Amino acid sequence: MSTIVHKKIPTYYNFAGGEWTEATSKELIESFNPATGELVSYSQKSNIQDVSQIIESVQHSFLTSDWSMNPKRRYEALHSLAEKMTEKLEHLALILTMDQGKTIRESRIELSGCIDTLKYFAGAARSVFGRSMQLEPDNFGVVVKEPVGVVGIISPWNWPALLMIRELAPALAAGNGVLVKPASLTPSISVEIFKLIAEIPHFPKGIVSIVTGPGKSIGAAMAASDKIDMISFTGDTSTGKSIIEMGAGNVKKVALELGGKSPNVVFEDANLDKAVPVIGRSIFISAGQICMAGSRVVIHESIKDEVVKRLKEYAEQLRVENGLLETADMGPLVSQSQLDLVEEYCEIGRKEGRIITGGYRMAGETYDQGFYFAPTIIDGLMAGSRVVKEEIFGPVLAVQTFSTEKEALHIANDSDFGLSAGVWTSDLNRAVRMSKGIKAGTVWINTYNKNFPETEFGGYKQSGLGRTRGVDGLMEYCETKHVHIEIDPREGAPL
């Protein structure tokens, strides 16, 4: 088992104006290891007054520093952060696993994704491009991209490092000032990354800050603030809708990456040796607590029994244990409330369908102090069942069946969400037809959950607004300005 030892429980502070500060309330939030129930850290229980002051410090730095006009400085800052995270990767991975509960192997993957994202957007900082046009003989148009201003990023608890960096990197690369509010369940890893930011002189004092505390108060204050020009939120759809409403006061830009109920569509000619383990991983990675989880498997009726049998075998051989163990395949859920929610959905599945495997909280000496839930597969559900329609955010896979390609497409699209999907077939023509017909921001063909900073990610329907990653992800954090130039065609000064 990997271990981490603290002489005392660490206390994390807000980082604002280039300084570490206490919340004015002097109150703290406790964070616990989901695997053991042990207290792992304290963080600041900030209030609206704290948030207002920090927003002002970010705004001041944005207006007075050269950050927005110095792409080389932004490149150096982001690249330096990538290097520091590389040096501290194992230390950060231990904190992430203790903070969130995921396996140490997943933590390393997540942090490696952070580093890759920082490197990509470090380069992109020097490539924020516009265009020019000859409009008439004496008229030129120049379209330029400028930073939005002050950006508030509200990041989630499920992939707290990567989903913070995924938004922070392009926001900074575009030249914005940024305030981050991490989830209260997992603040430790975010503040640890900000400790590295504090060591990098290329960041102007105050240009990037972090504040911890309750989302209902300080997250809402950020969304409603007239001094924040844009909010980026990753989380559940209902909160995303509230963010839109709260941001209406100053008509701020909003970027949302919300929920999903993503299907893996398996045709009769699929390579099951490849498909089954990838589909299994797509739902059981991070104990199913991932927005793009392949939480529905849509199987051609001719191979349903074989696919379900293999998926059952895959689920039952997973080692569910403390994520600090190198042998762990799946860790606990993040909290008691999340475990209760998953149990509720499984009770619905038990009444309305058939539990193929799992469906229970794991018990015993190694499990009783944590929030462990068995990998679960449920069959026999009606299309309108809540287990099929709603995002569970747990290790629960719903099985659906089809007989024709048309029916498969209908089932795949029969959802309020449209974040991602997988298609498994050896027929290239069918794969292209399905990829064009599925209403989702990402469609993977004969693979799943492959993400790169170069390629955009985001959702259709109630899965969000805008795109992250790639060129579009950079441009989300820019405003577009048209500069029109009319020249005098004659030589010399005008008469």
CA dihedral for 411, 414, 417, 418, sign (positive or negative): positive
Radius of gyration of the chain (CA): 24
Catalytic residue flag (residue 257)? yes
Cα separation, 107 vs 161, in Å, equals: 9
Q: From CA 383, how far away is CA 388, in angstroms rounded?
A: 6
Which amino acid is located at 60 in the chain? H
Q: Exactly one of 106, 110, 167, 257 is catalytic; name it.
A: 257
CB 298 within 8 A of CB 412: yes
Spatial distance between the Cα atoms of 121 and 170, rounded to a whole number of angstroms: 6
Q: Following DSSP, what letter does each residue of 456-471 receive, concatenated? A: -B--EETTEES-BSHH
426: tokens are 């050896």
Inter-CA distances, 478 with 79, 128, 176, 374, 472, Å: 20, 9, 8, 44, 10
Neighbours of 131 (CB within 10 A): 9
Q: Is 201 buried (19+), middle (13-18) or exposed (0-12) by CB count in 10 A? A: exposed
CA atoms of 248 and 180, how far apart (whole Å): 20
Amino acid at the residue 478:
C
- Residue closest to 191 by CA, chosen among 62, 29, 24: 29
Which residues face 300 on adjacent strands? 402
Alpha-carbon gap, residue 97 to 349, rounded angstroms: 30
Q: 3-class DSSP state for residue 101?
A: coil
- Assess contact for 190 and 157: CB atoms under 8 A: no
**Could you give the CA distance from residue 64 to residue 59 in angstroms, rounded to a whole number?**
9
Question: Can you read off the two tokens belonging to residue 118?
Answer: 């920082």
Q: Which amino acid is at 475?
A: M
Catalytic residues: 257
